Structure 1
Amino acid sequence: MSADRETAPVRRPNATAVAAIAIPILIGAAVSVLLGVYAKTHEPMGYSVNIAGFANPQAVKAWLATVAILLAMCQLVSALAIYGKLPVDAPSWIGTAHVWTGRLAVLVSVPVAVHCLYAFGFEQYDTRVLLHSLLGCFCYGAFVAKMLLLTRKGLPGWVIPVAGGLVLAVLTGIWLTSSLWFFQHNGLTF
């Protein structure tokens, strides 16, 4: 690099901006750790609530998680539309659809998470199950962090998309290590 080349000044974020991002991330991390500690230290009950019409609780979990991942995909498409990343103009209702698909995704994921926490706890008897347990705990921490970040003003434009993408990636990992595995071993069973 030549000495005569001008260098751009280094922009340092101010302490308020760093705190606006760091505090929600730390709270989300605490949620993840607390869920993991609870799941590991409580005695698994081996049972959960079942929904009429399904063969067993595992089928209920697999289908509810599938609905959650489909709703999360709707979240991705609606977010792309909101941010102007699709080749079509976003309809006026897309923001509302984005909010409600997110709410519904969380709503259908809660019985799955409760079943995992109470019936099984934190398991690690093979790599798939360990990864599923870790992702399950991390998912709700990432979700809490994203929700808290949404309440902050003046964040850099990349923060919310990264947080949403992280939640989607984790939810996808959970689905791959549970529902997909279930369907591969049991077929599309109800």
Structure 2
Amino acid sequence: MTHTTVITKRSLAPLLVPLGAGALVAVALGVYGKAHAPTGFAVGVAGFSGPLAMKAWLTTGAALLAIVQVLSARAMWRRTGTRSAWVAPLHRWSGRIAFLLTIPVAFHCLYALGAQYDSPRVLIHSLLGSFFYGVFTAKMLALPRRGLPGWSLPVLGGLVFTALIGLWLTSSFWFFTTLGIRL
């Protein structure tokens, strides 16, 4: 083994636990979603015309905050040294709120509907939902770890963003273009 090979293997080791935990979360959600008998109801929809509208609007809020996440992460990782003190708190809080907005949506999807594979859109949506929470878990567990490769957090963050936008496209965008924009 060369010196470079040892360094590469050593630097990837801190990612093993976060990626393993994320994979377990994704698989567990997918298995639960498929094995659980859907109830048809899970979350009250106060202020919304129904559960689909609630899910569409909360996911839209999370997707908008995900855009804030990307922009604030870009500002934080800028190498110019001129970043503002408010960027890191904005990044943390927009991520926290975005994640919280997804919880009632995911709960409703899993508990009331379960994982469904009856159409390509719904199949992709179900898979993306499990993937989103898995990669989110991996990112959160990787954040406090030292010795990570420099690319790991941006890649994990990019995967979280991509999964959430994919979820928005297969749910909210579909809802707004099919059923119209309504609360």
* 1:97 pairs with 2:90: yes
C-alpha displacement of 1:48: 2.0
Q: Which runs of 4+ in 1 moved over 4 A?
A: none
Q: Is the 8 A contact 1:59 1:189 kept in 2?
A: yes
Q: 2:74 matched to 1:65?
A: no
Count, aligned residues: 181
* 1:82-137 alpha-carbon deviations (Å, 9 max, x no partner): 0117x994211100110000000100100000000001101010000000000001
Question: After superposition, where does 1:27-42 map in structure 2 within 5 Å?
Answer: 27-42=21-36
By how many angstroms is 1:14 displaced?
A: 5.3
Q: Is the 8 A contact 2:12 2:148 kept in 1?
A: no
Partner of 2:68: 74
Q: CA deviation at 1:156?
A: 1.5
CA RMSD in angstroms, aligned pairs only: 1.7
Deviations 1:134-161 (A, max 9, x none): 0001100000000011011021111100
Following the alignment from structure 2 to structure 1, what is the Cα–Cα distance between the partners of residues 150 and 31? 34
Percent sequence identity over matched residues?
49
Greater helix fraction, Structure 1 or Structure 2: 2
Partner Cα distance (1:32, 1:72) in 2: 20
Write the letter of the residue equivalent to 1:108: L
List per-residue Cα deviations over 1:50-108 (Å, max 9, x = no partner).
232211010000000000000110000000000117x9942111001100000001001
Q: How does 1:4-19 map to 2 (within 5 A)?
A: 11-12=4-5, 13=7, 15-19=9-13
**Is this contact kept in 1: 2:19–2:138, CA < 8 A?**
yes
Separation in 1 of the partners of 2:166 and 2:175? 14
Shift of 1:187: 1.1
Shift of 1:18: 2.4
Q: Does structure 2 retain, via aligned residues, the 8 Å contact 1:81–1:89?
A: no
C-alpha distance in 1 between matches for 2:65 and 2:153: 18
Counterpart AA for 2:97: L
Match of 1:22 in 2: 16
Whether contact under 8 Å (2:12, 2:149) holds in the other structure is: no
Cα distance change, pair 185–14 in 1 and its aligned pair in 2 (3 A): closer
* Cα displacement string for residues 20-60 of structure 1 (whole angstroms, at most 9, x for unaligned residues): 11221011001000000000001000012223221101000
Structure 2 runs not aligned, ≥5 long: none
Question: Runs of 5+ in structure 1 lacking a partner?
Answer: 1-8
Counterpart-to-counterpart distance in 2, 1:147 and 1:52? 31
